[in-house]
Amino acid sequence: MRKHEMLGPWVRRFLLDHLVGERNLSLNTQLSYRDALAMLLPFVAKQQRKSVDLLEVHDISARMVQAFLLHLEQERKVSLRTRNLRLAAIHSLAYFIAQHSPQHVAWCGAVRNVPFKRHVRALVSYLEKNEIEALLHVPDRSTSGGARNYALLLFLYNTGARASEAVNLRITDLTLTASPRHTASVEFLGKGSKRRRCPLWPKTAETLRALVHNRQPDERVFLNRRGQPMTRFGLHAIIKTCVAAASEKEPSLRSKRVGPHTLRHSTATHLLRAGVDINTIRAWLGHVSLDTTLIYAELDMEAKTRALTKCTPTYLPMPTVAVPEPLMHFLRSL
């Protein structure tokens, strides 16, 4: 068996060299691709009655990929979005192999012809101003945990930070002293290792100063109750607890699934309503594509209503038209 027909070396090169070294994809994307292949390879091995280590490139045929996707939908009960994400990883692997091995071009074309399924994109969920205020009133700021929770919620709403950006934030990334020429700000290392800087409200800067007082610059900003760096799961748990408490005052929160990304959506929507330019919002959130930011323009019903009011035509009264009267015409003609 020729070495370049074996699938294992290609998978290793794809995950270790291509995704990391060549494309510099985010860690979450790398893990998503890894998970897709970790499910695909055992499935194919079982169908081919082979060991995973003995799989060849052509064992992953277009028909096999379709069978795998059907398995995901029917047995693992994944959503169409997840199904398409797994297929995107397979497409990417096939393209990588064909790029480096011309003899696999036809195989690659067949695999990449396996189509994505169209799914209806759910509307982006966001919180209204009164819901944000109710959320910020929940933490008891007289306790260390409550002070941290308040700082965390205020920071997420101020910056629109992703969950990973918030939990990985270090004190040295903060500039909390404002000057006449420079405002308080935070620097993020976002997707694709791209850096961006966001301004901080004076209230946010003041709250963070109290939170990180007398701590080392290389420490994480947000710590759990054991003094360890907060995880994304911990962040979700805090928000879930605060939302449950805030829903007593704002019942509308009970019908919404609120997480870190909901606060990010809220930031974008409220910036848009405040008249901030869409390109500024794109830079604020660290979006690679403007299309991603334009989602918020689509969902903002308040802005659509204002636009509709501005373009509503003025209805003028219909002009009076003389309607011919046949009888009178007849009389006058006599």
Give the domain CATH number at 306.
1.10.443.10
Coil, strand or helix at 289: coil
| Whole-number Å distance between alpha carbons of 214 and 315 | 66
Band of residue 60 on the pLDDT scale cut at 50, 70, 90? very high
Residue 197's φ and ψ, nearest 5 degrees, are -120, 135
- pLDDT value for 22: 81
Residue 1 reports pLDDT greater than 50 = no
Band of residue 311 on the pLDDT scale cut at 50, 70, 90? very low
Same domain, 68 and 151: no
Same domain, 213 and 166: yes
Q: What is the pLDDT of residues 205-244, one digit of tens each?
A: 999 999 999 999 999 999 999 999 999 999 999 999 999 9
- pLDDT value for 292: 60
Domain housing 207: 129-310
How far from 136 is each of 26, 33, 153, 173, 283, CA to CA, in Å? 31, 37, 7, 24, 25
Band of residue 304 on the pLDDT scale cut at 50, 70, 90? very low
Same domain, 197 and 106: no
Residue 330 reports pLDDT greater than 70 = no
Residue 316 reports pLDDT greater than 60 = no
Q: Looking at the 3D structure of the chain, how many domains does it have?
A: 2
Same domain, 135 and 199: yes
Give the domain CATH number at 75.
1.10.150
Report, as an integer, the average pLDDT of 240-258. 94
Q: What is the pLDDT of residues 32-47, one digit of tens each?
A: 999 999 999 999 999 9
Same domain, 138 and 273: yes
Residue with tokens 């759910």: 122
Rg (CA), the chain: 28
Is 123 domain-assigned? no
Tell me the whole-structure pTM to 2 decimals.
Answer: 0.66
Is 117 domain-assigned? no
Of 84, 112, 140, at which residue does a domain stop? 112
Same domain, 203 and 87: no
Band of residue 148 on the pLDDT scale cut at 50, 70, 90? very high
* AA identity, residue 155: F
Burial of 125 (0-12, 13-18, 19+ CB in 10 A): middle
Same domain, 134 and 257: yes
Same domain, 57 and 103: yes
Is 322 domain-assigned? no
The residues annotated with a catalytic role in the active site are 162, 191, 261, 264, 287, 296
Is 102 domain-assigned? yes
Residue 162 reports pLDDT greater than 70 = yes
Q: Which helix (H) or strand (E) covers residue 34, if one does? A: helix 27-48
Is 318 domain-assigned? no
Is 286 domain-assigned? yes
Same domain, 134 and 277: yes
For residue 134, the Cα-to-chain-centroid distance in whole angstroms is 24
Residue 5 reports pLDDT greater than 70 = yes
SS3 content of the chain, % helix, strand, coil (to 5): 60, 5, 30
Is 331 domain-assigned? no
Is 27 domain-assigned? yes
Q: What is the pLDDT of residues 267-282, one digit of tens each?
A: 888 888 888 877 888 8
Same domain, 73 and 156: no
- pLDDT value for 280: 81
Band of residue 300 on the pLDDT scale cut at 50, 70, 90? low
Q: What is the pLDDT of residues 14-34, one digit of tens each?
A: 998 898 878 877 777 888 999
Coil, strand or helix at 77: coil
Residue 312 reports pLDDT greater than 50 = no
- Mean pLDDT, the chain, rounded, equals 85
Q: What is the pLDDT of residues 176-206, one digit of tens each?
A: 987 777 789 999 887 766 788 899 999 999 9
Same domain, 12 and 143: no
- pLDDT value for 326: 61
Q: What is the pLDDT of residues 85-138, one digit of tens each?
A: 999 999 999 999 999 999 999 999 999 999 999 876 656 788 999 999 999 999
Same domain, 76 and 177: no
